Structure 1
Amino acid sequence: MSSWLSSKRVLCIVYVAAMFVVAMDATVLNVALQTISRELEVPSAASGVLNVGYLVSLAIVLPMAGWLGDKWGTKRVFLLALAIFTGASVLCSSANSLASLTLFRVIQGIGGGLLTPVGMAMLFRMFPPQERAKISRALILPIAIAPAVGPIVSGLLVEYFTWRWIFYVNLPIGIPALVFGLFWLREHREPNAGKLDVSGLLLSGPGLALLMYALSQGPLHGWHAPQVWIAGMAGIVLLAALVKVELSVEKPLLDLRLLGNRLFRTTGFIAMCASAGLLGMLYVFPLMYQNALRVSALDTGLATFPEAIGLMIASQLVPWTYPRLGPKRVIMMGLVATAIIFIMLSMVDASTNLWFIRALFFGIGIFLGQTVGAVQIAAFATIPPASLGRASTWFTVQNRLGPAIGLAILSAILIAVGTGTANAAGEMEPNLMAYRAALLGAAGFLLFGVGAACWIRDADAAATIRKPAAKTPAKEQAAPAES
């Protein structure tokens, strides 16, 4: 391997490429749902099963991702997951019915559920704590920029080509990343991975799947719908049983003991709040802009796109701000500033200047981008290498639950306030107050994160703040912090 093509650079390239297609896939489908429903001749409401199937399959396999990587090898599992995701994209593009497309989306969810935690564990094993601020560029790009790009890409492809192209776009990224990783990624196995925690798998997979189903379907069918509340209650019961079982197992599938680490526990909660607020805002604002202010879908995407530019700049700033200000200040300042911007977005009306809106979204990218980078760097600062697989799995579970909780609560706010009001002629007029209340709710999630950030101690993340020595062995890691 050449000096330029180092193991670290290879891993960053493959990680960013794989995570980018998975993250973009989370938002690229939504814009095309109406077109897909029309071409497959099914009701618009029925197409929602495509997202539900993906979320449920992802939730089922997600808990076992860390163990699989430790047991079978991170390279093998990561590339297998990438091959499943990319292959399922081909199948999705060729589907000729809603049933077949749903099945292929389920397969896609299996690949996506394994990719994120295994890739994150690989990244943090390769880079010691003191070097992790430098890789913030690799962390932010797929997590934050891809969801912002997805709606624009989807709008252009649906308008000028066909909805099938939203799945084709995964191939030029996924296939080269797969080949590149096959030849140059390094394998890693944990010798003490232990046996599969079958009881944990049987409780966590269905429990998370049922809870995700309830959170995603509650706003659509109503929380009193039997299929919603029964699924939600069953999910909660299974997850409650999971807590008792996992605390008694020596090698649990979801290691709840990691939550005894204050820094990991706090940053995980902040990440959940940040993802709930951001994804919730990206759901509510386009609805308000299109339904209430009568702006086209493409123009809405272009209005929100400056967020991605801000995130790109933020990824360059994190290696400078993180060691100088410390994770606590970076996280708190970023969350407070972003919450203020969300409040300003709630005041937007038809007369608001478009460039002012774009400037606000640019600011979201700048501030929240640094928060996301700082949270991920600090979260694993005190996690020993042997626990990184399970830690990344737990961190990913929280990050998946965050948007689901955020969308459920903000959708409930929209329904409670009412997105439409009847005028004197009996016609329905859009109700801006509903969208404004939901955007304030998104800001509330960020403020919860600010409260949690008060418990962060920069001393706990000292290993990630130190400047790296001239030659630092990759195996050196910080000891776990006290609870």
Structure 2
Amino acid sequence: MPASFRLSQRLVVPVMCVSVTFIAIVDGAITTVALPSIARQFHLTTAALDGVVVVYPVCLAMAIPASAWLVERFGGRRVLLTSLLGFLFSSLLCGAAADLGQLVAFRALQGLSAGVLFPASAALLFRTFTSSEQVRISRYMIIPQQIAPAAAPVLGGLLVDHLSWRWVFYVNVPVGLPAALFGLLFLAEHRDRRPGRFDLPGLLLSAAALATLMFGICEGPNRGWSSPAVLTALGVGAVLLACAVVFELRTSEPILRLRLFADRLFRDTNLVNLVGLVPILGAMYLGPLFLQEGQGRSALESGTSTFPEAFGVLLTVQLAGVLYARVGPRVIIGTGLAGVCAVLLLFSTCDAGTDLWTFRGYMFLLGIAMGGVFMPSTVASLATVAKTDLAQASTLNTVVRQTGGALAPAAVTTALVLNTPTGAATAPPVSAYQHAYLVLAAIAAVAAAFAFTIPDGPARAAAGGRAGGRTTASSRSVPVQRRRENAL
């Protein structure tokens, strides 16, 4: 349509990606604030609302495998706008839910929409910009991405206190509709290849494996890792995952192109993301628990004390964008994770008498270290991926990040439970939080050591770190094997 070309796609695509990410992050962070109010209205305990929380990541994991095929078959524009409108419509339904059953069902629809939304927006972004441009633009896109999780709890509290818990879901609509209209008017169609035959067996296997594993990981800390439901979910999920891998590697047109992991740079950066996200997100999850349960602080004190992390991330991402092509992502990612390890060791010294400003200082240092991990690892992971494989690569990246995101609270809760005296009716002792920080520090150290082995020559070349290394969008279609040989 002619209207799609009134604005440069180099402006339109980042606006859409930022909008989508902001809406999704706010929705994920704001929902937990409303749980006590929802429980009161439905005359339930907060623990009974477990399904509202768990169904979202489970359904998101189910939808992710199909996202790349949908983008290739129907085009990035159509898939992005359809999934965004589906997310907004399901938000309306969540706000209008009459009972717990309806709310869980509508949250499932939200999760299915988000499972397609994330990879579709990422594929559009990485298709539009070269590696060197992605580094520069990430320095600006990170700002709303950091503001969203910090602002969400405050916004959620205001909405719940002054309006209703239903507005926690309704608020997505006035924010998301302008983005959808903007995309409808100005977003051009993006399609790099026609997909092959739809891989229904691969979809069923991979979706069932991811959903079952996600359920087991999310419920393990709550029900206990030895509970029959969790053991069954993890066992069945592992078997289904093994079957899915074997089937996808033998299929000419798989729903998940696992052969992309044959490229070492793509594989190693995803491994770093999988393991590295556990201590990073685990620390973000553990901080409020320590302040509110370990020290007896208020929710407001907790929120203002974890907020400095965002400023640290914003500062480091600007520096990482300047240094990326000069020193390479390997040094930046490895140093960032080593910094995360060091700060977590500082957190492990916190006790009941640690003042808030000390904790806030540690959170700021954590943000500085975190800022060296997210952007470089994402950009480097796609440096050697052909343009025609970007949708599939973005899908695999999303699978890895969602898995790491689910493992983080599971690791933290498990560490707390193991270090809490048996039969204790109160919150875990301060020593349990200290041990949990030590566990996260150990995981960060392992991730940092591995990050320093990443072969980042191709990533530096793609970002302009070598003479003639600046690439164009078309250069991504060069076969991966040939580019790897040139980088050696």
Into which bin does the TM-score normalised by the smaller protein fall? Answer: over 0.9
Aligned counterparts of 2:132 and 2:295: Cα–Cα separation in 1: 48
Aligned counterparts of 1:235 and 1:127: Cα–Cα separation in 2: 36
Q: 1:250 aligns with which of 249, 252, 260?
A: 252
Change (3 A) 1:391 1:429: closer
Shift of 1:123: 0.6
Percent identity (aligned): 37
Aligned counterparts of 2:180 and 2:421: Cα–Cα separation in 1: 45
Q: Which residue of 2 aligns with 1:25?
A: 27
Q: Which residue of 2 aligns with 1:431?
A: 429
Contact 1:420 1:428 in 2 (8 A): no
Aligned counterparts of 1:183 and 1:35: Cα–Cα separation in 2: 38
* AA in 2 matched with 1:433: S
Q: 2:204 aligns with which of 193, 202, 205?
A: 202
Contact 1:377 1:464 in 2 (8 A): no
Q: Which residue of 2 aligns with 1:179?
A: 181
User: What's the CA shift string for 1:166-205, capped at 9, x where partnerless?
Assistant: 2233223211110111111111223331111111101001
Shift of 1:428: 4.5
Aligned counterparts of 2:33 and 2:4: Cα–Cα separation in 1: 43
Shift of 1:474: 3.2
**Greater mean deviation of Cα atoms: 133-142 or 345-354:** 133-142
Contact 2:291 2:302 in 1 (8 A): yes
**Greater mean deviation of Cα atoms: 361-370 or 76-85:** 361-370
Aligned counterparts of 1:194 and 1:277: Cα–Cα separation in 2: 39
Shift of 1:39: 1.8
* AA in 2 matched with 1:458: D
1:213 lines up with 2:215 in the alignment:
yes
Q: Which residue of 2 aligns with 1:450?
A: 448
Change (3 A) 1:410 1:337: same
Structure 1 length as normaliser, TM-score? 0.93
Change (3 A) 1:63 1:3: closer
Shift of 1:3: 11
Q: 1:237 aligns with which of 236, 239, 249?
A: 239
Change (3 A) 1:235 1:115: same
Q: Which residue of 1 aligns with 2:89?
A: 87
Contact 2:293 2:427 in 1 (8 A): no
Partner of 2:414, secondary structure, is helix
Change (3 A) 1:118 1:285: same
Change (3 A) 1:463 1:168: farther
1:474 lines up with 2:476 in the alignment:
no
Partner of 2:97, secondary structure, is coil
Q: Which residue of 1 aligns with 2:461?
A: 463
Aligned counterparts of 2:379 and 2:239: Cα–Cα separation in 1: 33
Contact 1:339 1:444 in 2 (8 A): yes
Aligned counterparts of 1:141 and 1:381: Cα–Cα separation in 2: 23
Gaps spanning 5+ residues in structure 2: where? Answer: none
* AA in 1 matched with 2:452: C
Aligned counterparts of 1:3 and 1:317: Cα–Cα separation in 2: 34
Change (3 A) 1:204 1:189: same
Shift of 1:96: 2.4
- Correspondence 1:145-164 to 2 at 5 A: 145-164=147-166
Shift of 1:466: 0.2
1:364 lines up with 2:347 in the alignment:
no
Aligned counterparts of 1:377 and 1:38: Cα–Cα separation in 2: 45
Shift of 1:103: 1.0
Contact 2:67 2:115 in 1 (8 A): yes
- Correspondence 1:111-126 to 2 at 5 A: 111-126=113-128
Partner of 1:147, secondary structure, is helix
**Greater mean deviation of Cα atoms: 186-195 or 464-473:** 464-473
Q: 2:75 aligns with which of 60, 65, 73?
A: 73
Shift of 1:216: 0.5
Contact 2:4 2:185 in 1 (8 A): no
Q: 2:323 aligns with which of 309, 321, 337?
A: 321
Contact 1:307 1:363 in 2 (8 A): yes
Contact 2:275 2:404 in 1 (8 A): yes
Structure 2 length as normaliser, TM-score? 0.92
- Correspondence 1:220-299 to 2 at 5 A: 220-299=222-301
Q: How many residue pairs are counted as aligned between the two chains?
A: 479
Partner of 1:159, secondary structure, is helix
Shift of 1:243: 0.9
Q: 2:109 aligns with which of 107, 111, 128?
A: 107
Contact 1:131 1:464 in 2 (8 A): no
Aligned counterparts of 1:189 and 1:28: Cα–Cα separation in 2: 34
Aligned counterparts of 1:121 and 1:303: Cα–Cα separation in 2: 35
Aligned counterparts of 1:4 and 1:192: Cα–Cα separation in 2: 26
Partner of 2:372, secondary structure, is helix
Partner of 2:165, secondary structure, is coil
**Greater mean deviation of Cα atoms: 289-298 or 151-160:** 151-160
Aligned counterparts of 2:300 and 2:90: Cα–Cα separation in 1: 27
**Greater mean deviation of Cα atoms: 125-134 or 376-385:** 125-134
User: What's the CA shift string for 1:319-370, capped at 9, x where partnerless?
Assistant: 2121222101111111111221122122222332322222221222222123
Change (3 A) 1:420 1:144: farther
Aligned counterparts of 2:85 and 2:273: Cα–Cα separation in 1: 28
Aligned counterparts of 1:118 and 1:419: Cα–Cα separation in 2: 46
Contact 2:55 2:108 in 1 (8 A): yes
Change (3 A) 1:394 1:472: closer
Aligned counterparts of 1:417 and 1:435: Cα–Cα separation in 2: 8
**Greater mean deviation of Cα atoms: 440-449 or 234-243:** 440-449
Give the alignment's Cα RMSD to 1 decimal.
2.4
